[in-house]
Chains A and B, each alone.
Chain A
Amino acid sequence: MDAATKLRQNRANVFGSTSTFGAALPFLVLLLAGISFPLFGGGYWGVIATRACVYWVLVSGLNLVVGFAGQIAIGWVALLTLGAYTTSVLAAGNVTPEFPPYLALTIAAVVGAMFGLIIGLPALRLRTFYFAITTLGFATIVTQVALAWQSVTGGGVGVPGPIFPEPFASQWGFYYFCFGLAAICTWMTANLAASRFGRALTAIRDAEVAAEASGISKPALLVPVFLFSGAVAAVSGGLFASLQSYITPDAFTLDLSVLFFIAILIGGRGSILGPVLGTILLTVLPELAAPLVAWSTFLYAVLLLVIVLAIPGGIAELLDFKNRRPLASSRAIIPRPDLLKQLLDVPRDAGALTLEQVALSFGGVKAIDGLDLEIRAGQVHGLIGPNGSGKTTILNVISGYYVQQHGTVRLNGAALPVLARHRRAHMRIARTFQTPRIVGSASVLENVMIGGTIDGKGTFVESLLSLPRYRRDETTLRATAALALVAVGLERLAQVRADRLQHSELRFTEIARALTLRPAFLLLDEPAAGLSAEEIERLGALLLAIAGAGTGVLVVEHHPDLIFDICHHVTVLNLGKLLAAGTPAEIRSHREVVNAYLGG
């Protein structure tokens, strides 16, 4: 057996799909239980089960907004109301000609998608609490409109809900209709969660800056999510109206919104199974004891408080047995620099990244004061200098967080657009951060896969429906990320939750994530900080190999030894100005550098 085969087999063991069945098992159990439910339960429990399914249709979509994207949307009941009234009014035909119920439901989905976008869009501009409040305001207003717009909604008297024709007219028929939709929603959101879009959503939630640096554009990502979430919420509303058989504005209290929201948090953010269980739990709980019904929202609120304070991870974390196994305490990071040629073996128009007379001041402080810099492909460029000399600021100008007041940053001669942070990844410029920016709840492999987000070809819809292009994306991306993990020496931790890693491992994870982009230029912000002497040595070899594979590397560092060992070219800054530039040998003997920085 040759080495390559061995490596491939080894990789198959580590990254293999052995856990797929285990992950699908709870869903299969739920599916069987749902299908066979009419054999056991009857009468009133049938209504409860139908209700749970109707709620889940909404919660599945909201879960993407709240659980994955981390947007605190507490007024989603507004979309349920909207869907319920749209379906009912169209089907009843009291304002328009009578629509067939399915058509009415479809129109409601379209209307819901539009309003999902309208309610959701402020999330792109507003901070957490502001967004939460606007959704709350929306929920209040939709109910008021439903109450006051008597000619359409019937005001306080209400309208009859739609009746879906056979075979879904009977109690069990309707149950299977709702259950079917709930199952489809589960399948679609689970597909999405496992796609690059799902990972990008959690990245936006937990590490927004890293998400941007990986080429993820928040608006482009959230728009389809809000459309989808609005559409399924409105469909859920149509089903809800049919289940209630008659709707009035009273039916859509904020309590319902709270139920949806809490079902997700109890279930656990970033999980599909957890919120399914949460929804079932919250729907069934008040029914177990009749006196509880009046207290249900009170209990939900208590539950929310307990969950937030005691187990912020929710049910999903409680069920995550895999990540409670202790990790080996002595584990070394052994990179495989020889694999970088294979990983970075893609055509990149690597020329040079140049700064021309770049200047930037904050108030009266000149952070960068007219600096020229050239980072060439295939070389390691070191940037050193005392604290506050403008090293990180330069990195932030290159990656678009700051706008320089003078000068230009050019990539192969073309000026980089200012502030377009997520465009940097498309130009194959990758970076790491002084404090690692990692999605703690995702596995190391998933974190690394975030780096390759822009290489996916499948669209949002293709991901929802698990079409071939989406599956091909996943396979390639997984392979690239796995290779990057082996290259930096973290393959044994691939399936571990990232927040269980040590600091040095997080640094190498960030490098692996950046490598998954297969960058033409790689910017590293103090990669050696917090590493042991041995790890620094391995890091140096790794960086040299990255440059050897054709990538231009810029290292901001405080460890002179590392810089002098690996750099082809060193730039020394002091107070935003160039103090010296040259080969490591020249710098080491440069008198001013020795005086100002290195010490002699």
Chain B
Amino acid sequence: MVESIVSTGIAIGCIYALIGITYNVMFSASRVFSFTAGTLGMLGGVLGSLFIAHMGMPVAVGLLIVLIAGAVLGIITEIVAVRPVLKSLDQHLYVLSTLALALIVQQFTAIEWGTEARPFPRLFDIARGGFDQQFWLPMLACVAVIVGLELLYRYSLIGRAFLAISEDNYAARALGLPERNLRMASFALAGMIGTVAGFAGGEMLLAFFGNAPILTFYGFVPVALGGMGNNRGAVVAGLLLGLFQQAANFLVGGIFASVAVFTVFIIVLLVRPEGLAGATLQRRV
């Protein structure tokens, strides 16, 4: 039993962490949280199922197209819902515009794909059992993304430009960095990470349009608790969230598990609004 809690918990936790990183990558580039993070996760599952199970594409091709779709949605998010409202960040219009875009995608999926949860194909043709691929795939995806991001940020020029933009937008622009293109690239990257989360976790979450708001919420928990823009914090908090949720699921049952997660989330946030890591106080007057 403990084994099942741990493996499910870590796998789910990895998906939450990946959605959290999706939020973070968009946030670092634009200082904006986007409601489309969970939608991307949902699309990863739905499109994966569509391309592989329904259209019979090979897994690799399916994954590639899913990634491209995620990148495209990321770019669309930047152009349609983020760029026009960046000028007036203090009015928080981005909350509304990204919410609108997320709903548009979600509803379109509900109508075209259906409102029933459909199965996600097994990606590797190996026998079920023990430590199954539905558990290790999300973990693998999570590790791959973290390593990939680290390499990108440390060793590539574009990665350093990302960091520069997120550290100090004005200074980066003054140095001549193409801020707008970098932001679009960041959103494309975030789109890919989000869909990877849904794709790798497809077997657990199924191809279901209703995953969007759930992932949007549970994926934000690691961001809020781990600190905005802090990917390591997001991974730790995501794993804790997944384990806690599964343990609560086992101990007190399904409904109260969600209630427990929510209660803990609210309490932690009320005590530490800046998350468990880091605190900043900005000048207001």
Contact = CB atoms under 8 A, between A and B. Distances in A.
A542 interface: no
Interface stretch (A39-47, A137-145, A488-496): A137-145
Contact of B81 (A149, A209, A302, A305): A305
B104 A301 contact: yes
* Interchain residue pairs A-B with the least CB separation, the first 3: A301-B103, A148-B255, A305-B100
B96 A72 contact: yes
Contacts of B101: 301, 305
Contacts of B270: 122, 125-126
B104 A209 contact: no
B273 A127 contact: yes
Interface string A128-139: 111011101110
A149 B214 CA distance: 20
Contacts of B217: 133, 136-137, 140
Given A136-B213, A148-B254, A298-B111, 17 more contacts: A72-B92, A72-B95, A125-B273, A126-B270, A126-B273, A133-B216, A137-B265, A145-B258, A148-B253, A209-B284, A209-B285, A298-B104, A298-B108, A305-B100, A308-B97, A396-B285, A401-B284
A308 B273 contact: no
Given A125-B273, A305-B80, A136 B100 contact: no
A141 B81 contact: no
Contacts of B169: none
A112 to B, nearest CB: 18
B158 interface: no
A408 B215 CA distance: 51
B104 A140 contact: no
Nearest to B108: A298
A2 B218 CA distance: 71
Nearest to A392: B285
A575 interface: no
B92 A295 contact: no
A147 B255 CA distance: 9
Contacts of B262: 137-138, 141
Given A140-B214, A305-B80, A129 B104 contact: no
B255 A145 contact: yes
A308 B93 contact: yes
A144 to B, nearest CB: 5
B255 A301 contact: no
Interface string B16-49: 0000000000000000010000000000000000
A72 B33 CA distance: 14
B255 A309 contact: no
A304 interface: yes
Given A297-B103, A304-B99, A141 B259 contact: yes
B182 interface: no
Interface string A101-141: 00000000000000000000010011111101110111011
B255 A144 contact: yes
Given A265-B96, A298-B104, A301-B100, A136 B266 contact: no
A74 B103 CA distance: 12
A251 interface: no
Most buried by A among B91, B103, B111, B213: B103
A365 to B, nearest CB: 13
B84 interface: yes
Nearest to B97: A308
B220 interface: yes
Contacts of A308: 85, 93, 96-97, 100
Contacts of B214: 140
Interface size class of B (residues with CB under 8 A): 35 or more
A130 B269 contact: yes
Most buried by A among B254, B266, B270, B285: B285
A309 B97 contact: yes
A4 interface: no
Interface in A293-321: 294-295, 297-298, 300-302, 304-305, 308-309, 312
Nearest to A139: B213
A304 B284 contact: no
Contacts of A300: 103
A313 B284 CA distance: 26
A167 B216 CA distance: 46
A399 to B, nearest CB: 8
B235 interface: no
A136 to B, nearest CB: 5
Nearest to A146: B255
Interface in A240-264: 254, 258
Given A148-B255, A305-B80, A140 B269 contact: no
B95 A132 contact: yes
Contacts of A305: 80-81, 97, 100-101, 104
A68 interface: no
Nearest to A253: B210
Nearest to A132: B95
A433 interface: yes
A309 B104 contact: no
A434 B285 CA distance: 8
A300 B104 CA distance: 9
Interface string A422-450: 00000000000110000000000000000
B269 A309 contact: no
Contacts of B80: 305
A235 B269 CA distance: 30
B224 interface: yes
A270 B180 CA distance: 34
Contacts of B100: 301-302, 304-305, 308
A133 B265 CA distance: 11
Most buried by B among A208, A209, A254: A254
A258 B103 contact: yes
Nearest to A298: B107
A72 B96 CA distance: 9
A125 B96 contact: no
A305 B173 CA distance: 29
Given A141-B258, A305-B101, A136 B216 contact: yes
Interface string B74-112: 000000110011000001110111011101100110010
Interface in A259-306: 265, 294-295, 297-298, 300-302, 304-305
